Structure 1
Amino acid sequence: MRIDCPHCGARDAQEFSYLGAADPQRPNGLRATQAAMTDYVYLRDNPAGVNRELWYHGAGCHSWLVVTRDTRTHAITAVEPAKARKAGAAA
């Protein structure tokens, strides 16, 4: 599988580290219950199909990326810097 890094170009997936789903929302700070935090940290869905995932380009530009990938075929349809996604969400 090759990931098209927006900074470095197309690279082999071995240059990247997979973190997990990009969309989980952290419970609200100090008001979160222990059960809510446990669910957030340990309980994740593993759906087949198109997913948005966080990948770290450790062997290249050291950027965090949001990769939209179909887990059944490994086809990648979009790659964007995670920083841009966070900035867009805050606006």
Structure 2
Amino acid sequence: MLISCPYCGPRDVSEFTYQGDGTRRRPAPNSQDLEAWNEYVYDRANPAGPHTEFWQHSGGCRAHLKVVRDTLTHEISSATFVREDLRHQAATARHGAKS
């Protein structure tokens, strides 16, 4: 499986580390709602089809990526930086543009 890092280009999945489900929402840190925390920690969806995930390019530029991957075919439809400010830095580095 190839993941196309926005900075480094297409790379083998062995260069990346899976960071988890990109759709889960964490309860507020000071929340006392035990049901919400129990759901966050233990309940996991097992979607079939396109799913948003977090990956880190640990064997390359170390950027954190938001990847949309089809869980049935493993086809990756998009890979973008998690942080918006990194998009501009990557574009600047690739195109030699001045800030």
Q: TM-score, normalised by structure 2?
A: 0.79
1:69 aligns with 2:69: yes
Report the count of equivalent residues.
Answer: 84
Displacement of 1:34 in angstroms is 2.5
Displacement of 1:38 in angstroms is 2.2
Q: Which runs of 5+ in 2 are unaligned?
A: 85-99
What is residue 26 of structure 2 aligned with on the other side?
26
Q: Root-mean-square deviation (CA), in Å?
A: 1.1
What percent identity do the matched residue pairs reach? 43
Q: Structure 2 CA distance, aligned partners of 1:73 and 1:60? A: 25
What is residue 80 of structure 2 aligned with on the other side?
80
| Matched letter for residue 17 of structure 2 | S
Give 3-state SS (helix, strand or coil) of 1:52's partner.
strand
Does the C-alpha gap of structure 1 residues 32 and 79 become closer, same or farther in structure 2, counting only changes over 3 Å?
farther
Higher CA-based Rg:
2
Q: TM-score, normalised by structure 1?
A: 0.85
Q: Structure 2 CA distance, aligned partners of 1:80 and 1:33? A: 33
Q: Which runs of 5+ in 1 are unaligned?
A: 85-91
Does the C-alpha gap of structure 1 residues 72 and 50 become closer, same or farther in structure 2, counting only changes over 3 Å?
same
Give 3-state SS (helix, strand or coil) of 2:83's partner.
helix
